[in-house]
Amino acid sequence: MLSIGIKGQQQITVTSEDTAEAYKSGTLQVLATPRMAALMEETAWKSVAAYLEAGMGTVGIRLELDHLAPTPAGMKVFCESVLEQIEGRKLIFSITARDEKGEIGKAVHERFIIEEEKFQRKADQKNG
């Protein structure tokens, strides 16, 4: 059952493909902010996926992120999400990311529970 307090965890090792240079969000060989955002979203959606009815999923609708410190390629990054609030179909998570030296990011992330096929059909209709 979907309930407040559900936690999710993910871990990556930063590779050259995860860097600001690769994401074109900068020129350095450090974890790109867009990559950290993707890791945070992945951690949150995976944490609740098993608690949803068949055919249901979640989509991100808001991400307020602070990237606090750089992480070089080769270092591990650990991400944890906590489901803090449930407001109807809206889920609100707090998320933290840290590397082997300490905290590197924090976020508040909102996701909305949707019927996957219906949502995809609606999106596909934009193509005419």
Give me the active site residues, please. Answer: 33, 41, 67
DSSP string over 58-100 = EEEEEEEEEE-S--BTT-EEEEEEEEEEEETTEEEEEEEEEET
- Among 81, 79, 68, which residue's Cα sits nearest to residue 30? 68
Contact yes or no for 43/10 (Cβ under 8 A): yes
Cα(46)–Cα(10) distance, rounded to whole angstroms? 9
